[in-house]
Every structure is written in C-alpha cells, then in structure tokens.
Amino acid sequence: MDSRKCAVSGSFYPSNAEELKYAVSGFFANVKLMHKNKTSVIVAPHAGYGYSGQTAAYAYSVLNSAETFVILCPNHTGLGSAVSISSSAQWETPLGNLQVDAQFADALADALRIERDDLAHLQEHAIEVQLPFIIRKFGNKVKIVPICLAIDDFNSLIKVGQAISEIQAKTKTKICVIASSDFSHFIPLESAKEKDSEAIEEIKKLDVSAFYKLVHSRRLSICGYGAIIAAVKYAKEKGMERAEFLRYSTSADATRDRSSVVGYAALAFY
C-alpha cells in the first residue's frame, strides 16, 4: 500500500492543519516540568486530544530527535495479524505525510518472521494520534515504523522489544521508541487512580514481569500494556534503568464525570 489514510482526523484531533498546529503548540506551551532531560523511550496516551493531548505533550516534550520513531500500539479493532508492522510507504496527516522506514521495518519483520501488513492499521487510532506531536516537534523529514500488537504472550512481547534493539544495533539507525497506551478504562476515578498508580510503580522499576503479572492478576484495563512491555524491554537492552513519571490525568478532567473514567499517563525512560 502506498499511503495509509487518516482514520480519526476530525474526531480525535482537528482535521484542519492550522487548528491542529495551534492545538499541539498549545499543549507544548502548557508543559511545566522541573527539567527536560531528553530520552529516546516514552509512554504516551492516545485518546482524543481534548482528553489526553496535554498529557501526551508532557511525554513528547522530553523526547530526543531521531531519524526514525518506532511506535508500538495495541490493536483496538481486532483486524490484522498478531504483530502488524505497517506495509504502507507513508502515513498521511493534516500536517503532511511521514515516510515509513522501509529498511528498518523490513529488517524487523524478518527478525520476527512475519509479513508486513497494514490491515490492523487501517482503522486504528493509537498510532495516528501520535503523529502530529512528532511532526510539530521534529518536522516531516523523520521516518516512522508503526507496529500494532494483538499479542498477550509475555515472551512474544519481550521478543518484539529485543528485536527492535537488535535491528537498531545492526542498522545503526538513531531511533526513538514510543509506547502508545491509555491506562484504566471506564471505572470510578478513585479506583482508576489507585490501580494506575500501582501499575506505574512497576513500570518505573522497569519490572516488566511484575507489571505483566499485575495487569493479569488485577485485571487491569491498560490497553497498551503489551506495547509498554516491548518498549521497556528495548529500554533495558539500551542500558536504561528507570522510568520517570511525568504526568497523570483522566477523562474526568474534561467531562467532570468521576463515575467512569479513562486514565492517561506520560512516562520517560532513563
């Protein structure tokens, strides 16, 4: 496929380029951090910008420049294969197109013994909403490797993170890894805060095994936990030892409905 079209432009974020630039620039302008130590691995949310855009900006505010941004997300649609690396040549956005790094994507697909496939990406929002943040901060010349995960097996998720690290070392490509994930879904505010705090503590320790067990034992509704596990594995392969919590918010901030919220977190790895 030559070009992956926008699926949620006009609903999750403005379809008008000037409105979109203004919105994302506003989010970046409102970021208040004690420091902005740069990193190459982040966790960022993927809801509509009115809900999670500000929290996403916190994650992107500390992200390093790179040649290629490897973006991992959960599969919300049920379409496509277990691990879907986009087969499109480029992804369209209202701010211009971003090229897919075909060399890196092909090498990664070979390492994972899969075919590149776009079916999982056609209606998926979790990577698309990240792209305007990347473009506003780094421009249109950078490349992306979009990866949609429909796997739950711990070892398979670890292999994805390991493979990204190996291909990065082999190709010498300067990459950043982005785990696209929201946290608790549709539970009361206090419960969401408690559960998400517990999960974030395990992520901060880079303890993917404990995090995975917690997700399953507590039946946490963190949609992109697989993306987080793969990203943490990559971070550990690159010598990172801790994650820093940057911001937490919920849908209640926008809706004022505390009875059923979705949680959003921004984290960076060092």
Q: What is the DSSP string of 75-118?
A: -SS--S-SEEE---SEE--TT--EEE-HHHHHHHHHHHT-----
How many whole angstroms from its chain centre is CA 51?
16
pTM for the model? 0.98
CATH number at residue 220: 3.40.830.10
117 has a pLDDT exceeding 90: yes
Give pLDDT tens digits for 70-82. Answer: 999 999 999 999 9
H/E stretch holding 263 reads strand 261-269
Model pLDDT, residue 36:
84
Is the pLDDT reported for residue 90 higher than 90?
Answer: yes
In this prediction, residue 35 carries a pLDDT of 87
Q: What would you measure as the largest C-alpha separation in the chain, in angstroms?
A: 49
Average pLDDT on 193-212 reads: 98
- Per-residue pLDDT band for 34 (boundaries 50, 70, 90) equals confident
Q: What is the mean pLDDT of residues 62-67?
A: 98
Quick one: which H or E segment has residue 70? Answer: strand 68-74
Q: Find, among 173, 196, 216, 219, the residue nearest to 267 by Cα.
A: 196
The backbone torsions φ and ψ at residue 265, rounded to the nearest 5 degrees and listed phi first, read -135, 145
Mean pLDDT value across residues 190-203 = 98
3-state helix, strand, coil in the chain (%, to 5): 40, 20, 35
Average pLDDT over residues 181-185: 98
> Exposure of 10 by Cβ count < 10 A (0-12 exposed, 13-18 middle, 19+ buried)?
exposed
199 pLDDT more than 80: yes
- The answer, yes or no, to whether residue 54 has pLDDT greater than 80, is yes
pLDDT of residue 193: 98
Evaluate if residue 55 carries a pLDDT over 90. yes
Q: What is the mean pLDDT of the chain?
A: 98
Q: What is the pLDDT of residue 49?
A: 98
Inform me whether the pLDDT recorded for 190 exceeds 90.
yes
145 near 69, Cβ under 8 Å? yes
CA–CA separation, 185 and 195 (whole Å): 11
Mean pLDDT of 25-44: 96
The mean pLDDT of 167-185, rounded to a whole number, is 98
Residue among 199, 4, 198, 162 at smallest CA distance from 83: 162
Number of domains in the chain: 1
Pairing of strands 175-180, 41-44: parallel
CA neighbours closer than 13 Å in the CB half-sphere of residue 45: 29
Domain with 203, as residue range(s), is: 3-30+37-269
Q: Report which of 80, 30, 88, 62 is spatially closest to residue 176, judged by C-alpha positions.
A: 62
